[in-house]
């Protein structure tokens, strides 16, 4: 027993550096974030005091905040659906196999491991209005007008950023779903072959039930990651034009590091957290209800 206790102490000592780092760079800032949100701390003023829920009240009655919330939802939902569909489609293609699918399997993760700031810059360059390759091709094919720009209107800017983010996010789905598909027992696939089911039915009744849990988890993760996503939007549109692509994370960042209103930014980030939590809880409740319903038949 004495030996066991000694080993435990050694264990704690070994994880201590990591714990300290975690405490200093994650736990303490998180705690301070909560504290700050109840004060009126600003880098432009000297001194700050406790103002209770004032920040929250201001933010909730600010229509700009609500506009950002709704844009965040547009951004998130478009990204989740897009990445999910492309990810699932590419996973099925890889699973069916084609010439060269082996190489693609090993390369498909590249967009995912690329730093998203770089992804943002690459896409900005490709979509740039004069020299961007994509815009150039669209213009020379006559699909868009000569003075076309991706970044002049809100919806187009948003679509450009969504495209870039989807490109970055889908490989994760592909790989996770592909891995799950590969673990579907061969017997099931052969049984469906013998029963002569159509490709769609094979997906719907044989493959999908197997990958469903993976898809669910991937959807949750993609939701969280997109909801928080910041770098690609920052690099490509910086929230513009005229705040039309300003999502909550862009707004929080601007409030804190451009306007130096630290407390307002803290409160905003906490609101963001609760919105995200609410959505996830709602999804969980709905899924549970659906399961109860389908079991109770």
Partner 1 sequence: MPRIVLEHVTKCFDKFVAVDDLNLVIEDRDFITLLGPSGCGKTTTLRMIAGLETPTKGRITIGDTVVFDSEEGIDISPAKRDIGFLFQNYALWPHMTVYDNIAFGLENLKWPKKKIEERVKEMMAMLKIEQFEKRFPSELSGGQQQRVAIARTLAPKPRVLFMDEPLSNLDAKLRLEMRSELKRLHVDTDSTFVYVTHDQLEAMALATKICLMNKAVLQQYDPPLVVYNKPVNLFVADFVGNPTMNFINATGERKGFNDVFVHMLGKDLVFHSSETIDGDVSDLVIGIRPEFVKLGEGNFNGVVYTTLPSGMETTVKVKHGEDMVTSVVFGSVDFSHSLDMPFSIVSDNIIMFEKASGKRIAIGSLS
Give min distance, CB of 287 to partner 1, in A. 15
Tokens, residue 2? 């004495």
Nearer to partner 1, 153 or 201 (CB): 201
Q: Please, are residues 189 and 199 in contact by the beta-carbon 8 Å criterion? A: no
**What is the C-alpha separation between 264 and 42, in angstroms, rounded?**
9
The minimum distance between CB 100 and partner 1, in angstroms, equals 22
Does residue number 203 form part of the binding site for partner 1 (CB under 8 A)? no
Judged by DSSP in three states, 39 sits in strand
Rg (CA), the chain: 24
Q: Which of 28, 31, 148, 205 binds partner 1 (CB under 8 A)?
A: 205
**CA 288 → CA 62, 220, 264, 285, 292, distances in Å?**
35, 15, 36, 5, 6
**Distance in Å, CB of 180 to partner 1, minimum:** 14
115 binds partner 1 (CB under 8 A): no
- Tell me 41's DSSP state: -
User: Closer CB to partner 1, residue 92 or residue 206?
Assistant: 206
- Taking CB under 8 A as the criterion, the residue among 102, 155, 209, 213 binding partner 1 is 209
The total of other beta-carbon atoms located within 10 Å of residue 37's CB is: 23
- Minimal distance, residue 212 CB to partner 1, in Å: 9
Say how far apart CA 26 and CA 19 lie, in whole Å.
10
**Integer Cα distance of 68 and 249 in angstroms:** 9
Q: How far is the CB of 182 from partner 1 (least distance, A)?
A: 17
**From residue 52 to residue 91, what is the string marking binding to partner 1 with x (rule CB under 8 A)?**
----------------------------------------
Question: Quick one: which of 170, 128, 164, 161 has its CA closest to 246?
Answer: 161
Question: In the structure encoding, which two tokens stand for residue 44, read together?
Answer: 């432009």
CA 159 to chain centre: 15
Q: Is omega for the bond preceding 79 within 30 degrees of 0, making it cis?
A: no
According to the binding rule CB under 8 A, does residue 287 interact with partner 1? no
In this complex, which beta carbon is closest to partner 1, that of residue 6 or of residue 291? 291
| Contact between 3 and partner 1 per CB under 8 A | no
CA angle 63, 231, 178 (to 5 degrees): 110
By the rule CB under 8 A, 213 interacts with partner 1: no
Residue pointed to by tokens 């790989």? 175
Residue 142 interacts with partner 1 (CB under 8 A): yes or no: no
18 is a contact residue toward partner 1 (CB under 8 A): no
Q: Which residue number, 136 or 188, has a Cβ lying nearer to partner 1?
A: 188
Residue 199 touching partner 1 (CB under 8 A): no
Between 178 and 197, how does the x/- string for binding to partner 1 read (CB under 8 A)?
Answer: -------x-xx-xx-xxxxx
Check residue 143 for interaction with partner 1 (CB under 8 A).
no
Q: Residue 204, SS3?
A: helix
Tell the smallest beta-carbon distance from residue 208 to partner 1 (Å): 9
216 binds partner 1 (CB under 8 A): no
Question: Would you count residue 48 as binding partner 1 (CB under 8 A)?
Answer: no
| Nearest C-alpha neighbor of 168 from the set 219, 120, 128, 216 | 120
Kindly list the residues in this chain that would bind partner 1 in the complex (CB under 8 A). Answer: 185, 187-188, 190-191, 193-198, 201, 205-206, 209
């Amino acid at each position: 027993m004495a030996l066991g206790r000694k080993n435990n102490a050694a264990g704690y000592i070994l994880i201590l550096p990591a714990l300290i780092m975690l405490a200093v760079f994650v736990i303490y800032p998180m705690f301070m974030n909560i504290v700050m949100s109840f004060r009126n701390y600003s880098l432009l003023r000297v001194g700050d005091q406790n103002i209770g829920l004032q920040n929250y009240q201001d933010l909730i009655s600010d229509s700009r905040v609500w506009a950002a919330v709704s844009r965040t939802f547009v951004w998130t939902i478009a990204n989740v659906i897009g990445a999910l569909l492309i990810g699932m489609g590419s996973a099925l293609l890889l699973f069916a196999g084609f010439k060269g699918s082996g190489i693609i399997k090993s390369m498909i993760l590249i967009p995912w491991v690329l730093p998203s700031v770089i992804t943002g810059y690459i896409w900005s360059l490709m979509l740039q209005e004069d020299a961007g390759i994509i815009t150039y091709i669209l213009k020379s094919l006559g699909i868009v007008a000569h003075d076309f720009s991706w970044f002049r209107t809100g919806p187009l800017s948003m679509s450009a950023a969504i495209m870039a983010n989807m490109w970055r996010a889908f490989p994760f789905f592909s790989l996770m779903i592909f891995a799950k598909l590969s673990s579907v027992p061969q017997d099931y696939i052969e049984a469906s072959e013998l029963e002569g089911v159509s490709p769609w039915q094979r997906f719907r009744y044989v493959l999908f039930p197997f990958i469903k849990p993976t898809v669910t988890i991937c959807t949750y993760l993609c939701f969280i990651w997109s909801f928080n996503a910041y770098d690609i939007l920052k690099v490509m549109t910086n929230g513009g034009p005229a705040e039309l692509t300003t999502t909550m994370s862009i707004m929080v960042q601007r409030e804190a590091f451009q306007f130096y209103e630290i407390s307002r930014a803290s409160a905003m980030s906490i609101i963001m957290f609760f919105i995200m939590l609410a959505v996830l809880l709602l999804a969980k409740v709905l899924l549970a209800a659906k399961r109860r319903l389908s079991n109770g038949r």
